[in-house]
Amino acid sequence: MFALTDCQIFTGEQWLLDHAVVIDHGRISAVIPRGSLAPELPSHDLNGALLSAGFIDLQLNGCGGVMFNGDISEATLATMQRTSLASGTTSFLPTLITSPDADMRQAVAVTHAYMAKHANQVLGLHLEGPYTNLKRKGIHPARQIRPLDEPMLDFLCRHGDVIAKMTLAPECNQPEHIARLKAAGIMVALGHTAASYDEAMQGIAAGIGFATHLYNAMTPTGNGREPGVVGAVYDSPDIYAGIIVDGVHVHDANVRLAHKVLGSRLCLVTDATAAAGAGPELTQFDFCGTRVLVRDGQCLDEHGTLGGSSLTMVAGVRNLVERIGLPLAEALRMASLYPARAMGKDQDLGSISVGKVANLVVLNEDLSVKNTLVNGQFTE
């Protein structure tokens, strides 16, 4: 049991000064005025730093030089976790893009094993594909995009405790299949889709509750007569969305527009790849058989198709403040509280309040990461 003191605390709702966060057995046991602390309680002085709930990345393909698709193993997840901590990310969804059935089964087994050993770090697997639309495949391997069959549907539903999120194209999947996935506890997301507005709304009615990398790999609002998938997302009162705020994937004005419409249902995501947190020496990597070049922070194949990003969560938070013009409090919520709510994890994560897991990030004044805590333990 110990206290974190001399810090600017952002609880997720308000800023607190001259307060302390008391941590006991990995959870927050009190948030109280500093003067109320028992004199004998050990404390860690944060020297005026900012203390927030740790960031939650709902779309992480890889980082630190590794890709989950490239090596589906616990060692890869450990590298992703270790690398993510440097950017303030204490929890994430490892993302496996369009793959053969065998790889998907392996990813489920590996994720299950890792989660059993490391609580509140990997929050579940994100399967991005293969049940998407070839017309909006992006960098996903075309040869692996296919319909969802009954054996795999049964497998996916039986592992809803491990598969946190699944991205598919609503126009390529039966509404009853979407409903079954949702009933199994899986957050069904639309993405890599060429759906019309009506097709997207049918999928949302069947159980889709999230939009993967909003604007990217989906039909835009073409004109007043064609709302597209983006229009369907904006016209739905309950759907959450992830957005990549790196200045490359989405124009700043579109980020602002999305925030005005979706508000607390808009989550910062990275869609990061091996390039994130790897340093300038990494100039290329393999993404499911495609060579991706890293140039000026962009990840592009030889045809100029975006292959994920090199974004980190803390860089995304800075971009939300400096490029988009959002208040710091809202940027922090987009990186922590809103993702926790989207995945139904906000009873344990996403803000600083009594009873929640002490997954926290300590930030310097320039919004660089000073330290993180996972399950109440400092990671450095």
Concatenate the DSSP letters of all residues of 320-354 into one string: HHHTS---HHHHHHHHTHHHHHHTT-TTTSSS--T
What is the percent of the chain with per-residue pLDDT over 90, rounded to a whole number? 95
The class (CATH top level) of 55-342 is: alpha beta
Tokens describing residue 280: 């300038």
Peptide bond into 130 cis (omega under 30): yes
Rg of the chain over all Cα atoms, to the nearest angstrom? 20
137-151, 238-252, 291-305: range with lowest mean pLDDT:
291-305
Span 21-46, pLDDT tens digits: 999 999 999 999 999 999 999 999 99
pLDDT band at 221 (very low <50, low <70, confident <90, very high): very high
Q: What is the mean pLDDT of residues 292-320?
A: 93
DSSP 46: E
Share of the chain above pLDDT 70, in %: 100
pLDDT in tens, 43-88: 999 999 999 999 999 999 999 999 999 999 999 999 999 999 999 9
pLDDT value at 280 more than 90: no
CATH topology of domain 2-52+356-378: Urease, subunit C; domain 1 (2.30.40)
Question: 366 CB contacts (<8 Å, ≥6 apart)?
Answer: none
Report the mean per-residue pLDDT for the chain. Answer: 97
Query: Residue 173: enclosing H or E segment and its boundaries?
Result: none
User: ∠ at Cα 375 (34, 363), nearest 5°?
Assistant: 60
Distance (Å, whole) CA 142 – CA 273: 19
Q: Which residues are catalytic?
A: 271
Above 90 in pLDDT, residue 11?
Answer: yes
Domains of the chain: which residue ranges?
Answer: 2-52+356-378, 55-342
pLDDT of residue 297: 85
